[in-house]
Amino acid sequence: MARQPSNRGSDDISNGDMKPLQRLRMATSIVAGDTDCSDANILLPFGEVGRADCFETSRASVLGDVEAILRRRGRREGSTKIMVMATLLFDQYSTRWAHEFNPVDYKLLALGCMCIAWKQCDGSKPSNIKALLPKWCSVKGLSEVMRQISANIDCARVACPIAAVDDLLRLLLPDASGGSEEDTQLVQLFKTRVLRRAADLIKLAVVDRSIASSFSPFIIALGSLRASVPFDVKYVESLFELHGLDLSLEWDEVAECSTCIVEHISQSRLLTEKKRKRSKRSTGHISVQSESVEIVYDVTFTGQPRLV
């Protein structure tokens, strides 16, 4: 889909201003004691960055910036879910528009994704969106990005499976809050990684209309979780029974959905590889594509998870 650049007027910033601003923002962050705040890292001299590197550089900085915003605003409940949804939306749209976006557009896109994900999670929205924007990003530009995302993404279909996976993880993994700090951190790390991995799989399922139309959002959630984590069906059923949940699960459907998702991953990787080779031949550089990140781990739900 073609994306028309918005007219930012006086909100534009010259490359010559980048380094002084970078030093100023970094100094401000350090004085405030927020030394790991990614705001200190987003003002890169983008004039020196090639377009082929633009996506990866921007993705790392802007999503880190979104995480920093959530942390500074003291938001704990739902922050992981917002980050997962924002990442999902960002990946889908930045991949589609990769050759039409400049670094400022990437920042607008990430912030737009965060605002949409925020609203989808609990119906609220950041109280002052303008305060979240870097100085050179206009509210008009953000509104245009949000409009395009909202018009082309079924946020409800995406949000429902992610929320279901989040709920299932609370049931599947033991509560380590009464254990040591190390155990608590390990379980939290595992939950976050599985949730992000499941979100990658849900994205593939939602993009593939044949999967999205054949299975309910909850089956897609279970299918993606099953493809992410080797869990025992009987154990899950006993958990549901213990908590009084009558979900009438059709495990054959879950298995079929898992198979469809895994097959789609394989097809997507083949397609990505073909696109890269074709782009390298035609333009002389490799086109950046969004891919799922493989997470390797070993887990048994009768005990604590163990990361490999």
Domain membership of residue 161 (yes or no) is: yes
pLDDT at 234: 66
Is pTM, for the whole model, over 0.95?
A: no
Domain match, 179 and 106 both:
no
Domain membership of residue 261 (yes or no) is: yes
In this structure, which amino acid lies at residue 287? Answer: S
- Between helix 103-122 and helix 139-152 the angle, nearest 10°, is 60
Domain membership of residue 7 (yes or no) is: no
Domain membership of residue 212 (yes or no) is: yes
Domain membership of residue 9 (yes or no) is: no
CATH for 294? 1.10.472
pLDDT at 41: 33
Q: What is the pLDDT along the chain (308 residues), one digit of tens a residue?
A: 333 333 333 333 334 433 434 433 443 343 333 334 333 333 223 333 344 455 556 666 666 666 666 666 665 566 767 777 777 777 667 666 655 666 667 777 777 877 777 777 767 776 666 766 666 667 777 787 777 777 766 666 666 777 777 776 766 665 555 566 766 677 777 777 777 777 777 777 766 767 777 777 777 777 777 777 666 666 666 656 655 555 555 667 777 878 887 777 777 666 666 666 665 554 443 333 333 333 333 333 333 333 33
Q: How far is it, in rounded angstroms, from Cα 53 to Cα 148?
A: 24
Domain match, 174 and 263 both:
yes
Domain membership of residue 61 (yes or no) is: yes
Query: Which among 125, 153, 181 is the end of a domain?
Result: 153
Instruction: Please count the structural domains in the chain.
Output: 2
Helix, strand, or coil (residue 70): helix
In our burial notation (b when 16+ CB lie closer than 10 A, e otherwise), range 123-146 reads: eeebeebeebbbebbbeebbebbb
φ, ψ for residue 242, nearest 5 deg: -60, -40
Q: How far is it, in rounded angstroms, from Cα 183 to Cα 189?
A: 10
Q: Give long-range contacts, CB 8 A cutoff, 24+ apart: 18-24.
A: 18/43, 18/44, 18/45, 18/46, 18/47, 19/45, 21/135
Domain match, 25 and 60 both:
yes
Alpha carbon 241 to its chain's center = 32
Domain membership of residue 1 (yes or no) is: no
Q: Which domain holds residue 226?
A: 157-307
Domain match, 57 and 172 both:
no
Beta carbons within 10 angstroms of residue 298's beta carbon? 9
Domain membership of residue 3 (yes or no) is: no
Q: Which two tokens stand for residue 288?
A: 């950046």
